[in-house]
Amino acid sequence: MKHAPLVDQLIHAFTCLPGVGPRSAQRMAYALLDRGREQGRRLGDALHAAMDGVQHCQRCRNYAEAELCPICESPKRDSSLICIVATPADVLAFEQSGEYLGQYFVLMGELSPLDGIGPRELGLDVLEQRLQGGEIRELILATGTTVEGEATAHYVLDIAQDAGVQVTRIAQGVPMGGDLEFVDGATLAQALKARRPFGS
């Protein structure tokens, strides 16, 4: 004897989510069945709508509901300035800063040959063509500082230099307004190495 089959199917389906094991999946199924049927239906609708309706922007690879995302379509954004990020969440972080008026290229990952993620999987062949096209003035690197992030940054640097496009990288250092005691050693070392004249 097990749960009612529909309950077991729901528990099993939840375990496809990252970080969800059999126990959390059971807890999720019970919560929706016991006091959240309407929420459960809404989640079901949202899943179908997103799985069927979300594609990738043909220009920047970010999530989009049309061929181009709103940022790539906007005439207000400088299309000669491209910021390279790993994920849609990074785009969100830049947009929330309100300081950036260029466009993006979203890799949807980082180079990781052992996992089968090479330049093609990140759309870097497409980026290379655009760099060769001559419309891009500056490429800003904002990939992570892990081994994969560094490898990705260097690959992008290579193809940009081949195309004669200027490459910059966002500054690494201590966060604004933070106490130094909460900053990790590697960040502090980098901040020290990249120190600049002050009080000129």
- What is the contact surface with a copy of itself in residues (CB under 8 A)? 1-7, 9-10, 12-14, 16-20, 24, 26-34, 36-37, 39-54, 62-65, 69-71, 87-89, 91-92, 95, 108-109
- Amino acid letter, residue 21: G
Does 130 interact with Zn ion (rule: CB under 5 A)? no
171 binds, among Zn ion, a copy of itself, none (CB under 5 to 8 A by kind): none
60 binds, among a copy of itself, Zn ion, none (CB under 5 to 8 A by kind): Zn ion
DSSP designation for 108: S
Give me the least distance between CB of 113 and a copy of itself, in Å please: 17
List of residues 6+ apart from 162 with CB closer than 8 A:
128, 131
Token code pair at residue 5: 């089959």
Question: DSSP alpha helices (H): ranges in 36-83?
Answer: 37-53, 70-73
Q: Cβ closer to a copy of itself: 64 or 124?
A: 64
Give me the least distance between CB of 132 and a copy of itself, in Å please: 27
Question: What is d(CA 194, CA 200) in angstroms, rounded to the nearest whole number?
Answer: 17
Whether 119 contacts 107, CB under 8 Å? no
Strands (DSSP E) along 54-194, which ranges? 55-56, 63-64, 78-85, 102-106, 138-141, 166-169
β partners of residue 141: 84, 169
48 binds, among a copy of itself, Zn ion, none (CB under 5 to 8 A by kind): a copy of itself
Give me the least distance between CB of 125 and Zn ion, in Å please: 17
Site for Zn ion in 55-114 (CB under 5 A): 57, 59-60, 62, 69, 72
47 binds, among Zn ion, a copy of itself, none (CB under 5 to 8 A by kind): a copy of itself
- List of residues contacting Zn ion (CB under 5 A): 57, 59-60, 62, 69, 72
